[in-house]
Structures are given as structure tokens and as C-alpha cells.
Amino acid sequence: MTGRAAAMANVSSCRRSAVLPRRQRDTKPETLLRGELTKRGLRGYRKNYAPLKELRSRPDVVFTKQKIAIYVHGCFWHGCPDHQRKTKSNVKWWADKIKANKQRDVASAAALEAAGWKVVRVWEHESPNEAAERIEEIVRATDMPTAAAA
């Protein structure tokens, strides 16, 4: 064993998970949601696509034709109002970090909405089926021709 594997060989699983990088895309909540969207026949979306190049954040699922950006937020990282838990160490650092995440979320949503995008937030604790149902309604409503176009 060499490199990172050797360095992590004698580290507890708790410590290892704290040290290794966090998965930023294709998380379990994202893959479950995309599976539900596909079951409903909603295809043609992009994964981790930047609809506005100046944005730092990338929505997890983007329907480019309909201009719908979907963020799948983790309860801890994005300060879920129902499930956010307080940390026991580095309390101020984590509070500042989560506050900054929430501010970035608001700024990103505002920039997208100003550019004519619909922003949908899905929390990791939400049922993928219910979230997909909500998204399907928005996508289908956006696909419908307007009376002015008819």
C-alpha cells in the first residue's frame, strides 16, 4: 500500500470520513430524485450544469429548455429549518460556514430568477417521489403552450 491508502489504513472510520472529501455530485438524494424524474418520463435535463456562467453554484438538475434549476440541498450543509443540527465543536466556524452557504443559496436563486429561471429547492429529507411530483408539475406547466401563442 502506498499514498493515501497507506496513510488512511490505521485511521478510524469516524476520522476517515471527517478527513476525506465530501461528495459534491451524484449524492444519494440526487440519484434517487433523478430516478423518479426518469420514471415520470422527464428526460432532457442536465446534471450539474451552470445556467449562468457567473454563478459559483451549479444546480444539481437543470431543465434548460424550460429554464428550471433544481438544487438538492443537504439538511446540514444548507441549514434546513426542520433538521439542522448544531455542532459540538468549532461552533462559530460551522455557524459562519452554514450562514455563508445559505446566503450563497439566496444570491444564486435571486440571480437565476432575475435571468428568467424558475428555481426549485429540494431538501435531502424530502421524499424523492413527492419532490419529483412537484417538479413534474412545474415542468409540464412550463411545456404547455400559452393562450397568446395559440
Domains detected in the chain: 23-143 (3.40.960.10)
Task: Decide if 47 contacts 60 (C-beta within 8 A).
Answer: yes
Q: Residue 101 pLDDT more than 70? A: yes
What is the spatial distance between Cα 69 and Cα 28, in angstroms, rounded to a whole number?
Answer: 19
Say which residue, 16 or 24, is predicted with more confidence: 24
- Residue 128 in this model has a pLDDT that exceeds 80: yes
Average pLDDT over the chain, rounded to whole? Answer: 84
Decide if 112 contacts 55 (C-beta within 8 A): yes
Of the two residues 106 and 81, the one the predictor is more confident about is 106
For the cut 70, the answer to whether the pLDDT of residue 65 exceeds it is yes
Chain centroid, CA 77 distance in Å = 10
Which has more confidence, 19 or 56? 56
pLDDT-derived band at 150 (thresholds 50, 70, 90) equals very low
* Position 131 pLDDT exceeds 60: yes
- What value does the mean pLDDT take over residues 23-48? 89
* Mean pLDDT value across residues 127-136: 96
On whether the pTM is more than 0.85, the answer is no
End-to-end CA distance of the chain: 67
